[in-house]
Structure 1
Amino acid sequence: MKFSQWIGFTILAFCVYILWNIRQLLLLLFTAAIIANFLNHGVQLLQRIGMKRGSAVLSSILLSLIVLSGFFLIIIPPFAEQLPELFKLVSLGLDQLILTIKDFILRLDPELIKALPNSQQVVEQLEPLIQIIAGQGLSVFYTTLGIPLTLLLLFALTLMLLVNPSAYRQGFIRLFPSFYRKKIDHILTECDRSLQGKLTRILFKMVMITMLSFIGLSLLGMRLTLAQSMLAGILTFIPNIGPVLSLIPPVAIALLENPWKSLSVFVLYIIFYLVISIIESKFVAPLLIENRKSILPAVTLLAQVFFGISFGVLGFFLALPLALVAQVWLKEVLVKDILDQWKSNYNYSHQEFTSELKKK
């Protein structure tokens, strides 16, 4: 490599090192950008009906604050009150579930039970990973500004990005060479479309599973229906793993009352998710303009592990939007602009090599 190329590579490596050391703050900025982007679509909708930009931004912020205030004042107190009892009942239900599984295995083959790990061994194996994710996720709060100031910083960043998003967008585009700025603008548009469509669908699923869980568990006479339905809605935000985790509390609690009741709860949740998927694909998806290239489930799972280890709890919850953005950038920059344009003489070289082998 030439001297100038070495200088460029050194500067690039130094920038990557700096960015990695401030990755938690960058993740906070990414979170603010997602929230601001989501609110900006509401602002644009208000502008289409004749409202000015400033009034639309103010109305969107006030409406968001009213919804959040009502949520924290009306729903959060009873949810927080039921949560400790929920964890206690889930723990008892899981113990009962383990005993039921062991009893079933003993009836099939008594020797098989020796090969299965107990709950303590499973916890010991998962503990290092949990500590890494939890420690990384909380470090941004207790090593930088603290929880109140971090949330205030998140609110301030969201507000600033929402008030004048075009200025920040243009400033980011200008960080790239002039010949590539049009492509960067296209990439940001694709990221916006992908995030808007996917996050809207996830929000729809969260609201629907919360409502259906509350109604279904109430009809079955389950305890702590509000806490269970809220927890199911929150876990739905996590793809692949979330729906599975949302089944554990209601099934475990129902098992304490009656094994057949736990089976009924399990079937009920399966029906909920099937109904929500049908409604989403038939009515919600056609209304959205989004990038139709979805992420494969295995890739999503690997992204959750990677971002969870790298960024902690917040990275684990934001794994899907991070993976969506990463997919667009890799597709547009690495695949289209580098790999697809990479011309080689492979065919000629291969034919030449084959002919030389024949001569020998």
Structure 2
Amino acid sequence: MFVRRVLIVLGLAALVFLLWQLRIILLMLFGAVVIASIFRAVADWLCSTARLPAKVATGLSIVLVLGTVGGLVGLFGAHIGQQVDELAKALPAAWAALEAQIGNFGLSNQFERLMASITTPGGSSLSGFGRTLLSIGGGIADLVVVIFAGIYLATQPNFYRIGAIKLVPPARRKVAAEAMHESERALRLWLKGQAIAMIAVGVTTGVGLWALGMPSALVLGLLAGLLEFIPFAGPIIAAVPAVLLALVVGPDMALWVALLYLVIQQVEGNLLSPLIQQYAVDLPGVVLLFSLIGFGTLFGTLGVILAAPLAVVTMVMVKRLYVIETLDTPTPIPGESKG
């Protein structure tokens, strides 16, 4: 009996170690699930509105989603590429302007020490540039893998769902199936609400910057909309290049741009998000914040990007499998009254 227990403990430890080594692969799999949820949501809408067969609707949804993304890239790609080039050329001057403004306040030495503390010592700028290119190339390759995996999951959802449920002991398979269904429903609702918020923030930011006379308003608005996917950190990251670029124009422009981003985020956080959450999924701010920190610590940049959808699924699983099933305590499941 003792030997058996030791073997079980060693087996569990080996399993945990293996999962930890494969954590990035597992996170990419979750990203594929998110992509598949988008395809499936569009396919279900086509089934209900156009009365199409499920397989035809799924194939059409994949073509529509990827075609829309490709069409937008083709339509605005050249203009965005030109603005990105202008932004890349202007940012060094913007950084110099920032250093000059800091020097005017007599904080140059403190700023230099701060930058030295966050800059990795050693290595040439050429090697750093090479590492950046490799990182970008690897990220693009991972994205391609995630998209194709999402296509496979979307075309045969029942096959993979049943396969996953079969890994659960027979007595708990019904509960596992319910938890998976509720997680998918909550994830779809969150994605729907997040898409609305991203479009609203991207459009208002781009229009606002254009009205202020800022260069590269289109690409900065697109960046703000995309980074809205990342809670808390995304809007801050999106505001940094805009404020830096505004410093090239002048301190007054930088102030107006910073105020614009602040107002948009206040409106989004206090007006738009509560309205969206009435029809989507309401994630408490504390849960989002610590999910961002926790998943970022565990998985790095990819964990930060997927922190919010991971938090949605984790919350559903904890409520269904632990609070309801283990503790026998009734609790609402995110999205259950909005399905």
Shorter-chain TM-score tier: 0.7 to 0.9
Match for residue 308 of structure 2?
A: 320
Moved more, 17-26 or 114-123: 114-123
**Secondary structure in 2 matching 1:315:** helix
Q: Partner letter of residue 268 of structure 1? A: L
> 112, 115, 119: which one pairs with 1:120?
115
Match for residue 265 of structure 1?
A: 257
Deviations 1:310-345 (A, max 9, x none): 3x433331222223333433444455556x48xxxx
Match for residue 290 of structure 2?
A: 299
C-alpha separation in 2, matches of 1:228 and 1:25:
31
Q: Partner letter of residue 169 of structure 1? A: R
Cα drift, residue 223 of structure 1: 1.0
**Secondary structure in 2 matching 1:63:** helix
Cα drift, residue 125 of structure 1: 6.2
1:17 aligns with 2:17: yes
C-alpha separation in 2, matches of 1:152 and 1:90:
30
C-alpha separation in 1, matches of 2:323 and 2:2:
26
Match for residue 40 of structure 2?
A: 40
1:206 aligns with 2:225: no
Contact 1:202 1:237 in 2 (8 A): yes
Deviations 1:40-70 (A, max 9, x none): 1221222223221122112212211320220
Moved more, 119-128 or 318-327: 119-128
Contiguous gaps of at least 5 residues in structure 1 = 107-111, 342-360
Contact 2:197 2:228 in 1 (8 A): yes
Do the aligned partners of residues 331 and 101 (structure 1) sit closer, same or farther apart at CA in structure 2, a change above 3 Å counting? Answer: farther
Scaled by the length of structure 1, the TM-score of the pair is 0.76
Q: Partner letter of residue 10 of structure 1? A: L
Do the aligned partners of residues 224 and 141 (structure 1) sit closer, same or farther apart at CA in structure 2, a change above 3 Å counting? Answer: closer
* Pairing of 1:228-267 with structure 2 (within 5 A): 228-267=220-259
Do the aligned partners of residues 314 and 102 (structure 1) sit closer, same or farther apart at CA in structure 2, a change above 3 Å counting? Answer: same
Contact 2:291 2:311 in 1 (8 A): yes
> 184, 187, 201: which one pairs with 2:176?
184
Cα drift, residue 73 of structure 1: 1.1
CA RMSD of aligned residues (A): 3.4
Percent of paired sites with the same residue: 28
1:163 aligns with 2:155: yes
Match for residue 84 of structure 2?
A: 83
C-alpha separation in 1, matches of 2:284 and 2:264:
26
Do the aligned partners of residues 295 and 51 (structure 1) sit closer, same or farther apart at CA in structure 2, a change above 3 Å counting? Answer: farther
Bigger-Rg structure (1/2): 1
Q: Partner letter of residue 197 of structure 1? A: L
Scaled by the length of structure 2, the TM-score of the pair is 0.81
Cα drift, residue 241 of structure 1: 0.8
Aligned residues: 322
Cα drift, residue 292 of structure 1: 5.5
Match for residue 65 of structure 1?
A: 66
**Secondary structure in 1 matching 2:16:** helix
Cα drift, residue 299 of structure 1: 0.6
Match for residue 285 of structure 1?
A: 277
C-alpha separation in 2, matches of 1:192 and 1:64:
19
**Secondary structure in 1 matching 2:229:** coil
Do the aligned partners of residues 141 and 337 (structure 1) sit closer, same or farther apart at CA in structure 2, a change above 3 Å counting? Answer: farther
**Secondary structure in 1 matching 2:214:** coil
Match for residue 216 of structure 2?
A: 224
Contact 1:231 1:246 in 2 (8 A): yes
C-alpha separation in 2, matches of 1:236 and 1:51:
33
Deviations 1:287-321 (A, max 9, x none): 33x366665343133124314xx3x4333312222
Do the aligned partners of residues 324 and 18 (structure 1) sit closer, same or farther apart at CA in structure 2, a change above 3 Å counting? Answer: same
